[in-house]
Amino acid sequence: MEKKITMSQAIHKIVAQLDGPITEDELARRVFEIYSTTAKTARSSLKNAIRYDHDGRTLIWLNKDKIIPMRTFMSGIRFRIPVDARIAHACILMLDMFEPFYDRPRGGKLSLTFLDEKGKTLPARMKTVKMSAPKDLARITGNYDAEGYNLQGWAEVHNLRKGDSILITVRDWEHSVCSLEHEPAGKRQRVKIEAANKEFADTLFGILEASHDDRPLGFQIIPKVYATLPDPYGYPGDHWTQVVEKDGRMCYNRWMITYAEDLGFFDRMALTEPGERLPYVQDNYIKEQAGQVYRFKVEMAYDKKIWREVEIKGGQKLAELDQILRAAFDLDTWDHLGGFWKLIQRGTTKRVREVEIGDIDPMGEGSAADLHISGLDLKPGDRLKYVYDFGDWIEHFLTLEEISSAEKSAKYPRIVSQNKPRYRNCQVCAEKGKKTVATIICIDCSNRKEKDVLVCEECYEEKHQDHYYEEILY
């Protein structure tokens, strides 16, 4: 009996037959012609298989109306490898410089083939090189081993020097064949390179902004960029890793493309000390902004019906905003950390990215404590997130409503308005026929009865004194 083909095998078979772009619907139709299934979730399973197993490996998924086979698109792409002192001396081309310009074998051993300008195969030997981590990460990661190809003979023929470039053309992506061309530093076309760099960076950032994932894998997103460029086969700009590094909006950590301010745990350890300002956070305060008044509407994340409006001067600092928020929402002023994030819209989508500004402790110290309000470069409509207590993680959202002039007799920061309280009655008093505003929720009793148990302060002292409680905010 013939063994039934799997969905993955069916996709591979169809992809191998493609010679140009295809839509999601057409790809699905062809797959299900050779892969029979009665599963109700077959279509979503197919989409997931393409996105997670084939995107960046066999296909470039631009949108449901355009899926490009990498085998046909990637062959012919050109890119640049800069010649630094190490390459000029030993001409070892590191494998990561060719990412993602070769087929990614699953479990198999990668083998690149290099051709000279005349199409002749060059002798190239794989070599393991001890690499040094950047200074800011050295104390955490130390040195590491990386693989590259030794092309010393070709380099000597061309008298390779620091500042030159090696222009690479992918001749056969599927079989990892590429050709090398030497470009002396004096022939570098700077205007074209800068234009190509800007085009690449803007395209990559636009794709990142529109992506559902704010940390897409490099081997998946970079082919999308090349597939979007008007001429990926023309004169190349700088290597894409250099473009990302110089751009300032993004970073690449050898696996993922992320926003520049998206510091991981190890990055934070390497770049900052406890209480030190985050490296990407700037305080752009000028004295002329000191008298400006910033009015924020602040809402509780779990219940937006509970809100306050607060005003604070541009010359005042986030430590003071932290204190007025604690007072406005009846939070402890002597315990737990507070923290601020800036919420930035991702492109034209409704999604936002949260850019951490820093933390503040109850003593008014911390990485964000001394930042001026006006130094955050906010404009009406911009939003912040404030978190109180990093254990319970109580979130509040701030929207800047207005920037105006200060009132001469007013003291800032201040609470200027709040929601109309919707009081709830004490349940113990209600059983006695009395109406008393509940000020406490008994957590122990609420958990046991699986419903809110609300009491006034007097009834709490009488009936619930040893129970864990929280005060009710109106």
Residue 146 pLDDT grade (very low, low, confident, very high; cuts 50, 70, 90)? confident
Total number of residues shown for the chain: 474
Q: For residue 266, what pLDDT is reported?
A: 64
Q: Look at residue 140 and tell me whether its pLDDT is greater than 60.
A: no
Q: For residue 138, what pLDDT is reported?
A: 47
Q: For residue 338, what pLDDT is reported?
A: 97
Q: Look at residue 109 and tell me whether its pLDDT is greater than 80.
A: no
Residue with more model confidence, 286 or 137: 286
Contact yes or no for 227/71 (Cβ under 8 A):
no
Q: For residue 52, what pLDDT is reported?
A: 83
- The DSSP H or E segment spanning 227 is helix 218-228
- The proportion of the chain whose per-residue pLDDT surpasses 70, expressed as a percent, equals 94
Phi-psi region of 270 (alpha: psi -120 to 50; beta: other; left: phi over 0): alpha
Bond preceding residue 100 cis, omega within 30 of 0: yes
Average pLDDT value for the chain = 90
For the residues 395-416, what does the mean pLDDT come to? 96
Q: Look at residue 139 and tell me whether its pLDDT is greater than 90.
A: no
Residue 438 pLDDT grade (very low, low, confident, very high; cuts 50, 70, 90)? very high
Q: Look at residue 439 and tell me whether its pLDDT is greater than 70.
A: yes
Q: For residue 133, what pLDDT is reported?
A: 60
Give bridge partners of residue 145 from the DSSP assignment: 130
Residue 270 pLDDT grade (very low, low, confident, very high; cuts 50, 70, 90)? low
d(CA 391, CA 214): 25
376: which DSSP letter? G
Tens digits of per-residue pLDDT, 8-64? 889 989 999 999 999 999 999 999 999 988 888 888 998 888 888 888 888 998 888
Residue 158 pLDDT grade (very low, low, confident, very high; cuts 50, 70, 90)? very high
For the residues 68-92, what does the mean pLDDT come to? 92
Q: For residue 164, what pLDDT is reported?
A: 96
For the residues 441-470, what does the mean pLDDT come to? 90
d(CA 312, CA 298): 13
Q: For residue 262, what pLDDT is reported?
A: 87
Q: Look at residue 6 and tell me whether its pLDDT is greater than 60.
A: yes
359 CB neighbour count, 10 Å cutoff: 21
